Amino acid sequence: MHPTSGPPLSFVSGTSDRPLLYRTVDGVLKAAADEAPDRAALVVPFQSKRYTFAELDREVEQVARGMIACGLEPGDRIGIWAPNCTEWILTMFGAARAGLVLVNINPAYRTTELQFALRLVGCRALVFAPCFKSSDYAAMLQSLIPELATAAPGQLECTTLPQLRLLVQLGARPLRGTLSFDDLIVAGQDVDKSLPASLGQRLDADQIFNIQFTSGTTGTPKGATLTHFNIVNNGYFVGAGMQLTADDRVCIPVPLYHCFGMVLGVLAAMTHRAASVFPSEGFEPLAVLETVAQERCTVLLGVPTMFIAELEHPRFGEFDLASLRTGIMAGSPCPTAVMRRVVTDMHMPEVTICYGMTETSPVSFQSQTDDPLELRVGTVGRVHPHVQVKIIDAEGQVTPRGTSGELLTRGYSVMRGYWDDPERTRDCIDAGGWMHSGDLAVIDDQGYCNIVGRVKDMIIRGGENVYPREIEEFLYRHPAVFDVAVVGVPDAKFGEAVCACIRLRGGVSVTEEEIREFCRGQIAHYKVPRYVRFVDSFPLTISGKVQKYLLREHLRVELGLAEDETA
């Protein structure tokens, strides 16, 4: 029987002549150390640390032996609560070699969030920095775990965190009851050198390696549970999308606790024998510019707000960025004007756009290095190799090409599930193995995907669907607009009204009515913002995304609007 004819459907499946890798995270480092032992692997100028792949492999071996000496066993969960640094990478690969499960803890977490995360996944150990920015991690841990004051290192017994036994502090002078990172390495000196190797041989690429917490904007954080196979392959194909080689040096200012830094950065680099370069503990635009120039980086990662901060830095013109070639811009839509400046002023003609979510390891779409600029701004590229995507309508039917709906992903990249949360896992991974993203998207006839908004962020004004991104992209054309976020707020007549929150460029001024007048006649009347608010900053996640749910709540209160305000 022949299929019925009709318009092409919004289903795409990525093909490639490159097969998937059946390799563990530890296997990635071992392969690099075998094949390119003297190549630069890790460069951390602010810590004066530099490792070749062979040197990194030897250092990781010592860390893995230390973990084993402290009683950690395969399958145990070990948390890392620290900003970007050398020890983060040593912990990541040491955990992989020792057969442990790495748990990424957001550096912005406070005591309550930390306790929830550690309890949810049953962490046996935690590696932590003493402090970072305004966060005093040591003080938070002392408050949360009073037993530390009398505990012997590695033998903690804690009422609030019954499975936690070992705390390892970065830096000198560790807290009472904890080991220093150097102590951890020393502890492993008596461990049989063959033990980590034998553990590694028993590891399987399909085993769980990593737990990353989602933002928890709709409730308590969820632990996305990822296998070696998930993240190794995603890193490999992201790197292939940038055409990485062993000659590349990847500048990684995005956080390691997030998939962006750990997978799109470190694993993408290492699977192609490129070097990973960390400019600073947390994002600092000047540090990025200095590091790219000094280390002759060829690749730069970031969310649009990071690129904007770099371009707008008063010393931008002092730095030679001509070594740059490509990179990744992801996390939120990129304004056209910003993309043009990244390509020209930052010498990144091959910069790529990526789209995905933590639960899909994370990338599902990526633009090509030679895609026209308009496709790198107006879309997120085409589907990744070995990944399937479909767009469905409210009834669950696949939409025709060019019609918006919710984006679903299936394939090797989909997580195992949310840790110890089968109900919320079933809510987002259906019986067919499709991961529901919550993003509204359109796939065109050439297979390019455009993310038009979040299902929950879409504004429904008087029955009209309004996509915030479309209005944001238009407002970026105004010469006074530096940055903008559009959200829906309650409205008695139309159900929701459009509100534009705008950060102005320095030294310029504009009125609310002038912004509205700029829109009239250029975009549909129902898209013209009813409210315009000028702000100094946006609430951001640590990875640079605007937290629109917080923005909406602040505006609702500021404007005196009831949540249930309807006609």
Name the E strands within 444-480: 449-454, 459-461, 464-466
> Tokens at residue 535, please?
């702000």
Identify the helix (H) or strand (E) that includes residue 382. strand 382-383
Q: Residue 533: is it exposed, middle or buried by C-beta count within 10 angstroms (0-12/13-18/19+)?
A: middle
Q: How confident is the model at residue 2 (pLDDT cuts 50, 70, 90)?
A: very low
- For residues 490 and 497, give the distance between their C-alpha atoms in angstroms, rounded to a whole number: 6
pLDDT at 258 over 70: yes
Domain-ending residue, one of 213, 236, 271? 213
What's the number of domains the chain is made of?
2
Range of the domain at 537: 459-558
pLDDT at 48 over 50: yes
Strands 435-443, 405-411: parallel, antiparallel or unpaired by DSSP?
antiparallel
Each residue of 86-103: pLDDT tens digit? 999 999 999 999 999 999
Domain containing residue 536: CATH number = 3.30.300.30
Residue 494 within a domain: yes
Domain-ending residue, one of 213, 247, 282? 213
Residue 391 within a domain: no
Residue 37 within a domain: yes
Cis peptide leading into residue 422 (ω within 30°): no
Percent of the chain with pLDDT over 70: 97
Q: pLDDT value at position 337?
A: 83
**Residue with more model confidence, 165 or 460:** 165
> Tokens at residue 493, please?
């007549």
pLDDT at 567 over 60: no
Q: What is the mean pLDDT of residues 148-156?
A: 94
pLDDT at 564 over 70: no
Q: pLDDT value at position 464?
A: 77
* 326-335 as b/e: b if 16+ CB within 10 A: bbbbbbbbbb
Q: pLDDT value at position 3?
A: 46
Q: pLDDT value at position 257?
A: 95
pLDDT at 413 over 60: yes
pLDDT at 528 over 50: yes
**What average pLDDT does the structure give for the chain?**
93
Cα–chain center distance at 93 = 19
Q: pLDDT value at position 379?
A: 93
Q: pLDDT value at position 217?
A: 42
Q: pLDDT value at position 563?
A: 56
Residue 93 within a domain: yes
Going by C-beta distance under 8 Å and a sequence separation of 6 or more, which residues neighbour residue 129?
81, 82, 83, 85, 107, 137, 169, 170, 171
Q: How far apart are the first and last CA of the chain?
A: 52
Each residue of 378-406: pLDDT tens digit? 899 999 999 999 999 989 999 999 999 99
* 395-430 as b/e: b if 16+ CB within 10 A: eeeebebeebbbbbbbbbbbbbbbbeeeeebeebbe
Q: How confident is the model at residue 68 (pLDDT cuts 50, 70, 90)?
A: very high
- For residues 48 and 132, give the distance between their C-alpha atoms in angstroms, rounded to a whole number: 19
* Residue 479 and residue 512 in contact, taking contact as beta carbons nearer than 8 Å: no
Each residue of 346-368: pLDDT tens digit? 999 999 999 999 999 999 999 99
Each residue of 6-32: pLDDT tens digit? 789 999 999 999 999 999 999 999 999
Residue 4 within a domain: no
- For residues 499 and 513, give the distance between their C-alpha atoms in angstroms, rounded to a whole number: 13
Domain containing residue 71: CATH number = 3.40.50.980
Residue 393 within a domain: no
Each residue of 206-236: pLDDT tens digit? 999 999 998 644 457 899 999 999 999 999 9
- Helix, strand, coil content of the chain in percent (nearest 5): 35, 25, 40
Q: pLDDT value at position 460?
A: 79
Neighbouring CB atoms inside 10 A of 247's CB total 12
pLDDT at 566 over 60: no
Domain-ending residue, one of 195, 213, 231? 213
pLDDT at 541 over 90: no
Percent of the chain with pLDDT over 90: 78
Q: pLDDT value at position 543?
A: 62
Name the E strands within 92-157: 101-104, 123-128
Residue 358 within a domain: no
Q: What is the mean pLDDT of residues 105-124?
A: 92
This prediction's pTM: 0.86
Q: pLDDT value at position 562?
A: 67
pLDDT at 305 over 90: no
Residue 246 within a domain: no
* 41-62 as b/e: b if 16+ CB within 10 A: bbbbbbeebbbbbbbbbebbbb
Backbone angles phi, psi at 362, to 5 degrees: -115, -15
